[in-house]
Amino acid sequence: MNKSKILNIIMAIIILVLLLAGRDSVTPAARIKSLFKKTTHVNTSEKVYTKRSLGEKNLVFPEPAMVIGSYDKDGVPNIMTAAWFGVANSKPLKVSVSLRPATYSYHCIMANMAFTVNVPDASLISYVTFAGKYSGKDMNKFEETGLTPVKSEYVNAPYIKEFPIVLECKVTEYHDLGSHRQFIGQVIDAKIDDRLLNEDGEVDMDLFNPIIYGQGKYYSGLDLIQNINEIVPKVKN
């Protein structure tokens, strides 16, 4: 066999090996790119909208509508609705909620350094509206609504029995941001109605209909549009 024949065979083997190696190594980036081709419906040749500047305006959508539970200094339970809420840290798990000093809840949370986050589903909308309109300064909102306060297991704050998801939070720090004080609450325990869990003990979102808030209006209804776990194996928040 002459030299060039040997070289050709070696080249052919190298190309074959490269082709075989490349066959299974579809990178997450490539997978996402191929997904774009399948799911993107934006026609780039259509009209491109001009962005209009609105200055300092809250255009965040969607926002959550949570109901925050706390005891006042005499141990009377209170609830208020809060949209200025978010997950703030993963380890340890912390959430944040921002309250105005004018709210009764602000002073209740300061008195006990604890609160609960009660996550409503759409069927509980009237309670969310009520808790966001009236103040614990003027009434006992549990008595007025007929909701049941339950003393938390781990923190000195009441949760609402009728709400499907509850976080028991201990205040670890707070920040004065201007109009609001942002309370950071470490989640000591999260509780959920059995009925929302599937056989593997995971939350079944098909059974939960959360309230979505934005621009002073409440919305509901979720459609699954993508399962991120099927595209990229691990998402780090």
Ligand X SMILES: Cc1cc2nc3c(=O)[nH]c(=O)nc-3n(C[C@H](O)[C@H](O)[C@H](O)COP(=O)(O)O)c2cc1C
Instruction: Examine residue 134 and tell whether it contacts ligand X (CB under 6 A).
Output: yes
> Tokens standing for 78?
């209170």
> Tokens standing for 197?
């869990």
The nearer residue to ligand X, 98 or 152, going by C-beta atoms, is 98
The nearer residue to ligand X, 137 or 161, going by C-beta atoms, is 137
3-state SS class at 211: strand
Q: Which of 94, 95, 98, 142 binds ligand X (CB under 6 A)?
A: 98
Q: Among 48, 183, 63, 40, which residue's Cα sits nearest to residue 115?
A: 183
Instruction: Examine residue 116 and tell whether it contacts ligand X (CB under 6 A).
Output: no
Helix (H) / strand (E) containing 189:
strand 181-192
Answer yes or no: are the C-beta atoms of 204 and 193 closer than 8 Å.
no
Say how far apart CA 101 and CA 20 lie, in whole Å.
65
Rg (CA), the chain: 26
Instruction: Examine residue 96 and tell whether it contacts ligand X (CB under 6 A).
Output: no
Which residues in 29-68 contact ligand X (CB under 6 A)? 65
Say how far apart CA 192 and CA 40 lie, in whole Å.
36
Instruction: Examine residue 80 and tell whether it contacts ligand X (CB under 6 A).
Output: yes
Residue closest to ligand X when measured from CB atoms: 132
Q: Which of 71, 72, 77, 78 binds ligand X (CB under 6 A)?
A: 78
The nearer residue to ligand X, 58 or 198, going by C-beta atoms, is 58
Q: Which of 100, 151, 161, 175 binds ligand X (CB under 6 A)?
A: 100
Residues at the interface with ligand X (CB under 6 A): 65, 78, 80-84, 98-100, 103-105, 132-137, 213
